Structures are given as C-alpha cells and as structure tokens.
Amino acid sequence: DAMVIQNPRYQVTQFGKPVTLSCSQTLNHNVMYWYQQKSSQAPKLLFHYYDKDFNNEADTPDNFQSRRPNTSFCFLDIRSPGLGDAAMYLCATSRVVLEPLHFGNGTRLTVT
C-alpha cells in the first residue's frame, strides 16, 4: 500500500541535544509538509517542500530545519530542542498544493 511512514514513533531527547525525525513516502507526491501539534491544539505548519522548493513559515523558529534529499524522503532537524518543542510532529504529503493531505502516523517527541 502506498503510504507515508514516519520514524521513530516515539523519540526522547535531552534538552539541547540535536534530534532528527524522518519521513518517507511511496505516493510519489510532489509536496511534503511538516506540522507540529501540541496537546489540544491545531496542527501548525512548520514548512513544506514543493518538489525541491523549500517554503518556510514566517513564525517557524530557526531551531527547526528541514531537508528533502529526494522525492521520497524528508527530514526535520531540531538543532537544540527546548522543553517547549515537545509535541507530535506530523509529516504529510499531497500530490500538489491545495489537494488533500496524507499524513504519516506521527513522531511524538519528548524533551527531558
């Protein structure tokens, strides 16, 4: 089945210790997104790639970076995680912008 896969499902990191979350897709979609979702809040868009074009949201902290080495993979790097970065990180894809999003099952990040 074509899908969006995120690894790991749960990630624990220490305050200030860099962490990388990964996402892969077999849907061959052009667009990949990273959303951050905190408890009882809406998913918040951090950035998205349209093919290789990177689009950063204005209020995404500099602490967050992303890489998309090829169509299938996208990574979220958090350079110096703070306690406030603990959240569910959701990767999503869409064929083109404005079409429905297909989500991976998320990575729940804990910062100790």
Partner 1 sequence: RKEVEQDPGPFNVPEGATVAFNCTYSNSASQSFFWYRQDCRKEPKLLMSVYSSGNEDGRFTAQLNRASQYISLLIRDSKLSDSATYLCVVNMWGNKLVFGAGTILRVKS
Residue ranges binding partner 1 (CB under 8 A): 33, 35, 40-45, 48, 55, 57, 88, 90, 97-106, 108
Main-chain phi, psi angles of 58, to 5 degrees: -60, -30
* C-alpha torsion 51→47→76→42, nearest 10: -130
DSSP, collapsed to helix, strand or coil, labels residue 84 as helix
Q: Minimal distance in Å, beta carbon 99 to partner 1?
A: 8
Q: Minimal distance in Å, beta carbon 9 to partner 1?
A: 10
* For partner 1, the closer CB: 42 or 83: 42
* For partner 1, the closer CB: 81 or 104: 104
Q: Minimal distance in Å, beta carbon 51 to partner 1?
A: 14
Question: Do the Cβ atoms of 37 and 90 come closer than 8 Å?
Answer: yes
* For partner 1, the closer CB: 69 or 100: 100
Buried b (16+ CB within 10 A) or exposed e, 80-99: ebeeebbbbbbbbbbeeeee
* For partner 1, the closer CB: 61 or 79: 61
